[in-house]
Structure 1
Amino acid sequence: MFVVLLGLAGADNYVRPPAGRSLFVSHDHSKTSSQQVHISLAGNAQLRISWITDELTPSTVKYGKSSGVYEALMNGTSSSYRYIIYKSGQIHEVVIGPLEPSTTYYYKCGIDSSPEHSFRTPPAQFPIDFAVSGDLGQTEWTKSTLQHISKTDYDVLLLPGDLSYADFYQPSWDSYGRLIEPLASQRPWMVTQGNHEVERIPLIHKERFTAYNHRYHMPFEESGSSSNLFYSFKVAGVHVIMLGSYTDFGPDSSQYKWLESDLRKVDRKQTPWLFALVHAPWYNSNSAHQGEKESSVDMRNSMENLLYNARVDIVFAGHVHAYERFARVYKQEADKCGPVHITIGDGGNREGLATKYKDPQPKISVFREASFGHGQLRVVNASHAQWTWYRNDNAQPDSTWFTSLASDSACVV
Structure 2
Amino acid sequence: MVTEGNHEIETIPIIQPHAFRSYNARWPMPYNESGSTSNLYYSFEVANVHIIMLGSYTDFDEHSKQYKWLQSDLVKIDRKSTPWVIVLLHAPWYNTNEAHEGEGEEMRQAMEALLYEARVDLVFSGHVHAYERFTRIYDNNADSCGPLYVTIGDGGNREGLALTFKKPPNPLSLYREPSFGHGRLRMVNETHAHWTWHRNNDSNTFVADNVWMKSLSSLKECWKFGHEEL
TM-score (norm 2): 0.94
TM-score (norm 1): 0.53
Question: Residues 271-310 of structure 1: matches in 2 within 5 Å?
Answer: 271-292=82-103, 296-310=104-118
Matched, 1:335 2:143: yes
Matched, 1:249 2:79: no
1:198 alignment partner in structure 2: 9
Pairwise CA RMSD:
0.8
Give the distance between the partners of 1:356 and 1:195, measured in 2 at CA: 21
Structure 2 residue aligned with 1:320, among 111, 123, 128? 128
User: What SS does structure 2 have at the residue aligned with 1:387?
Assistant: strand
Give the distance between the partners of 2:122 and 2:102, measured in 1 at CA: 23
Structure 2 residue aligned with 1:353, among 137, 157, 161? 161
1:236 alignment partner in structure 2: 47
Letter in 1 for 2:165: Y
Aligned residues: 221
**Structure 1 spans left out of the alignment, 5+ residues:** 1-189
Give the distance between the partners of 1:301 and 1:290, measured in 2 at CA: 15
Conserved 8 A contact 2:95-2:102: no
1:61-94 residue CA offsets vs partner (Å, 9 max, x unmatched): xxxxxxxxxxxxxxxxxxxxxxxxxxxxxxxxxx
1:215-272 residue CA offsets vs partner (Å, 9 max, x unmatched): 1111101111000000000110100000000000011100000000000000100100
Structure 2 residue aligned with 1:344, among 142, 152, 174? 152
Matched, 1:395 2:206: yes
Letter in 1 for 2:146: G
Shift of residue 210, structure 1, vs aligned partner: 1.1
Letter in 2 for 1:303: M
Give the distance between the partners of 2:82 and 2:19, measured in 1 at CA: 33
Give the distance between the partners of 2:117 and 2:86, measured in 1 at CA: 13
Letter in 2 for 1:231: Y
Shift of residue 396, structure 1, vs aligned partner: 4.0
Shift of residue 211, structure 1, vs aligned partner: 1.2
Give the distance between the partners of 2:146 and 2:171, measured in 1 at CA: 15
Letter in 2 for 1:399: N
Give the distance between the partners of 1:364 and 1:376, measured in 2 at CA: 22
User: What SS does structure 1 have at the residue aligned with 2:151?
Assistant: strand
Q: Which has the higher contact order (CA 8 A, sep 6+)?
A: 1
Conserved 8 A contact 2:89-2:125: yes
Matched, 1:385 2:193: yes
Question: Residues 358-377 of structure 1: matches in 2 within 5 Å?
Answer: 358-377=166-185
Give the distance between the partners of 2:49 and 2:197, measured in 1 at CA: 20
**Structure 2 spans left out of the alignment, 5+ residues:** none
1:74 alignment partner in structure 2: none
Question: Residues 10-409 of structure 1: matches in 2 within 5 Å?
Answer: 190-292=1-103, 296-393=104-201, 394-409=205-220
Larger Rg: 1
Letter in 1 for 2:14: L
Give the distance between the partners of 1:367 and 1:378, measured in 2 at CA: 19
Letter in 2 for 1:268: R
Conserved 8 A contact 2:44-2:51: yes
User: What SS does structure 2 have at the residue aligned with 1:411?
Assistant: helix
Shift of residue 291, structure 1, vs aligned partner: 3.5
User: What SS does structure 2 have at the residue aligned with 1:402?
Assistant: strand
